[in-house]
Amino acid sequence: MSERKLYSQRVWLDNKLQPATITFHNGTISAIHKEKLNDAEDFGNAVIMPGVIDVHVHVNEPGRTEWEGFETATQAAAAGGTTTIIDMPLNASPVTITLDAFQQKLKSTEGKLNINVGFYAGLVPGNAPHLESLMQAGVVGVKCFLTHSGIDEFPNVTEKDLDEAMPIIAKYNVPLLAHCELYDKEVDCDFESHPTSYQHYLASRPKQWENNAIDLMIRKCRQ
């Protein structure tokens, strides 16, 4: 059995930084000692702490890598103490709504991952038949929008689309993430004339849109 012991004067333990040795067996923490063990690797004053998990990241590769790519995204995450990210399905091109698109995304990550990375599939009108193969391929969840996503290749779903997809998603016991704004009607807020005004922006996304979307998703989950 493989064992490793790491010591630092600054281990985040019991809500404070303190000296400690962490023992691992086959990559899993097996013991924590509040002193230095003789055979521990000494990391001096370096901070040892749990890594951050960011479950909402838009990496944009393949296809829009000039916005961000897996190499720079995972390097930046590692530098900031993030050890796992989950990539959203809508900013890549192609968007991650079929198994073929997912395989293209996986290929685009080769040799570029500096941390752990997981992936969401997308739910859009008409792609429910693709969800099963995507979940079998290992996506950790499914993302949909209830209003325009900002990406034309990733249109929002309707209640009919949810009725078709949710039983398939439930079968695999993965989460369905919904952008909860349910478009109702045009809002007279003059945001286009005041594109840098936060108050005008808030007025362009009425709270009722969010309330209606959450009500819809609660009703769908109960069904």
Stretch 156-177: mean pLDDT: 96
pLDDT at 1: 58
pLDDT at 118: 98
Q: Are 96 and 121 spatial neighbours (Cβ–Cβ below 8 Å)?
A: yes
Stretch 119-148: mean pLDDT: 97
Bridge partner residues of 1 (DSSP):
none
The DSSP element (H or E) to which 70 belongs, if any, is helix 70-79
The whole-model pTM stands at 0.83
pLDDT at 219: 96
d(CA 172, CA 174): 6
pLDDT at 28 over 70: yes
d(CA 130, CA 25): 39
**pLDDT confidence bin for 216, thresholds 50/70/90:** very high
Q: Which 8-state DSSP code applies to residue 46?
A: -
Point out the least confidently predicted range of 65-74, 84-93, 186-195, 207-216. 186-195
Q: Which 8-state DSSP code applies to residue 111?
A: T
pLDDT at 27 over 90: no
The DSSP element (H or E) to which 177 belongs, if any, is strand 176-179
Point out the least confidently predicted range of 21-25, 52-56, 205-209. 205-209
Stretch 164-178: mean pLDDT: 96
Question: Greater confidence, 2 or 143?
Answer: 143
> pLDDT (tens digit, 9 = 90+) per residue, 7-20?
999 999 999 999 99
